[in-house]
Structure 1
Amino acid sequence: MAYADQQMSGNRVVALIIVALIHVAIGYVLISGLAYEAAKKVVERVTTVDIDEPPPPEEPDEPPPPEPDAPPPPVAPPPPINIAPAPPPIQTQPTIPPPAPPALIVPPPAPPAPPPAPSQARGVSPKGQSRWARRIQENYPSRALREEIQGTVGVRVTVGADGRVSSCSVTASSGSSILDDAACKGMQRYARFDPALNDAGNPVSGSWSTRITYQLN
């Protein structure tokens, strides 16, 4: 009896398992079919709907180039602030002193003037006097020789800047006009001098005096 009950219990369990498997299979089929139908309907809707694509938007015109940034206006620096120091205290005097006398300025003494240059002035001086005096005496006038006239003549001559006699005058006559004339002619012809000079050393005219002796041998 116990064995039969145990066998019946095992069969029942197997039957329950089989029934459960059948329900699972039927559910799976139902779920799979429903899902397939639903997916098919969704696909049909999606494929049958016409979608109107909107026209592409028009390209906007190119914007104008940006204007260059204007430089900022110059900003002047703030003026310096001078803070004046406190003014010094004002001192009042009961009486005003007299003004000070002006200072006496003594200019320095002027430098001494330079000494004047030494004067180069000089008088007429004969040049080679012995030679030309002998020639004057040798040029004895022929008439005075014939008449044996002799004597001494004092003459004064003017000598030019070239050292030659420009004029002659008799200062002391020999007593014979022949000898007097011969003395002046001989001086003008033969006498030579170093001319006189002024203070600057320039040659100038000068005078010179001498005596000429005519004597027979």
Structure 2
Amino acid sequence: MSYARRNQMSSNRTAAIIIVALIHIALGYALVTGLAYNVIKKAAEDLKTFDVEEEPPPPPEEPPPPPDQNTPPPPQIVAPPSIIKIDSPAPALVTTPNISPVVITPRAEAPTTKSCPGGMTVAIAQACPPVISQAAKAKGNLPSLFSTDDYPQSAIRNEEQGTTAVRLSIGPDGRVADCTVTSSSGSSSLDSATCNIIKRRARYSPAKDSSGNPTTGSDTTRIRWVLPEE
């Protein structure tokens, strides 16, 4: 760079520094003398006189919709169903063939008894008694087996008396195997005493079948009870 050019640049820089210094000095003087205050006040007044357009107010809000009311729906009109007429066919004639009446014959009841030899009838499930060629015979008179001492004391106290009829079953050994009251004297104690005494004391010649062998037989008797005299 040439010497002349350097001197010119140095001169320009010095001039710039001097100008900046003068500006600062002028500003400081203005502040001190109130010139700056007047300038600022004037700018504020200019700002006050500036018209500012106000924003238009917002539009009013729309009122809320009224609450829904339970309004019943309009009645529905239902058209009545149409009537369809159907011609039904005439019923067919049904002919009934001639049927012969059925006759039901009542079933004969099975017999419950059977006849045995000798004219005796027994139950169908019961065996017929053997044919007796000789009936059982008591050894002695049956009423003679009873005495005054055999009279039941309960019957005496109650003054009971009467006749007891019994049927006796005689075994092949000639003893009374069973005693059945066929007609009561009216006193249970007299009836019981009759069978008990005959079963203990009576003896028989047993019945015999057609072959002459001893077999079971039967007999009947009547015992009359009379209160003993005092």
Q: Could you say which structure has the higher strand fraction? A: 2
Between structure 1 and structure 2, the one with the greater Rg is 1
Check whether TM > 0.5.
no
TM-score, structure 2 normalization: 0.40
